[in-house]
Structure 1
């Protein structure tokens, strides 16, 4: 919050009016977006980090016999886990900067041209944050879509296991469940020469009942939800910063005419 240039003003207004004046300069939309951004970042990074580790365990135990078959997958998981550390640090700093920019623009809008005036440099800074947030929201929309791919994979796997359990309970289709398979190679998790690379029949149904499967599935769902919360916070940031910038431009033109 920006200090008032006239220290006697709060005394003249009284404690209640001064508090109302200060609270009117709080960027509530940016504050809510910051809380959503931090919550979504923590949920996405923590869940995705652990889900990737569990995926490696699941592939090693049930879909690949040779360590050379999932070496590339293990390297990708390790690399992406470090990327998650960088994302967490970036969004923490980005949230701080946008919240500070929200305090700046909201104070300028609320006080209009009283004790605090918006400068051309300040309006340029606000426009920069609008463009940066817009670009970041588009990028994160793609990340949000990609985060749904592992959820889709595990959903199909669970649905396939359900089909196997239904077929195994019928005496007329007792041999049909052996042809129902889930191939990890189709999702580029393993190379095509990996063995076995897929799980079929009751073997697949047994995998779906393990704690590793449920734990990994739940973690990917949590990561997907965290990415959605982050995307929502970026859109909220975009609305707030665009509105504040538009008002500042309007007030700036009005001041020039005066």
Structure 2
């Protein structure tokens, strides 16, 4: 029979060994988390959600403003309505695609990071694995360039609404000065090319323009376009982080494959 003290010491040693093994396992698992890809995925989901959600509602409000104040004839803005409706369907497709693509990139980040750190064997250092990583690098670069264009395009309605809003502020300031008439200050939407030059009335001046700026539709659409533009910018940043993470992982895998090849000889 072993003494009670020796038995207790052995039990404590076994418990400490189990705790140490559990701690090492947790550290090993945390080491395989692709933190860059995780941050990029969260940022990408947030940016795409803001861009798609706010952009969809803002486009609807823009059509309503144009129909009520700048283009009273339906035939004048029929093409614009069809284009905006098509853009809304495109927004649905963008949201669905990037939801799936973000999950795929995050999963690819987990697998590649595990392979780079050799946590679960070298299942990713094969030629097929490197080919898949290279494909994600190329696709992410292409999507990053495309989203730069989307970001620039989303800034156009912000610029247009800002010009209208600033003109309304000028009218308000001129109303305080009785020597300067505010009726001569106008905004012509036709100059932006979104409605034809024969659209009636096509422009708004003075108090009419000020009333447009005070409507809830204008206020909501203006701020929603700003949020949508910010969401597009956040998506661009997320794709840049993806680019850096996927390029780094691919370069390390390429280096490890050459190192393993040279080691065999």
Aligned to 1:191: 196
Question: Does 2:228 correspond to 1:228?
Answer: no
Tell me which residue corresponds to 2:207: 202
Deviation at 1:234, TM superposition (A): 0.4
Q: Distance in 2 between matches of 1:121 and 1:56?
A: 49
- TM-score, length of structure 2 as denominator length: 0.89
| Corresponding residue number in structure 1 for 2:121 | 115
Deviations 1:149-194 (A, max 9, x none): 0000011111111111111211211x2x222111111112211100
Q: How does 1:76-115 map to 2 (within 5 A)?
A: 76-111=83-118, 115=121
CA distance in structure 2 between the partners assigned to 1:124 and 1:20 by the alignment: 29
Gaps of 5+ in 2: 1-17
Is 2:248 the counterpart of 1:246?
no
TM-score using structure 1 length: 0.92
Q: How many residues matched?
A: 246
Q: How does 1:126-165 map to 2 (within 5 A)?
A: 126-165=133-172
* 1:216 Cα deviation from its structure 2 partner: 0.6
Q: Deviations over 1:24-70 (max 9, x none)?
A: 11111111111111111111100000000000111111111211111
**Counterpart residue number, 2:40:** 33
RMSD, matched Cα: 1.6
| In structure 2, C-alpha distance between the alignment counterparts of 1:201 and 1:13, rounded to whole Å | 76
Please state how far the C-alpha of 1:115 moved relative to its aligned partner: 2.7
C-alpha distance in structure 2 between counterparts of 1:12 and 1:96, whole Å: 33
Give me the whole-angstrom Cα distance separating, in 1, the residues matched to 2:100 and 2:207.
Answer: 49
Could you say what secondary structure the match of 1:182 adopts?
strand
Does structure 1 retain, via aligned residues, the 8 Å contact 2:115–2:121? no
Structure 1 unaligned residues grouped into runs of 5+: 1-10
Moved over 4 A (4+): none
The higher radius of gyration belongs to 2
Secondary structure at 2:195's aligned position in 1? coil
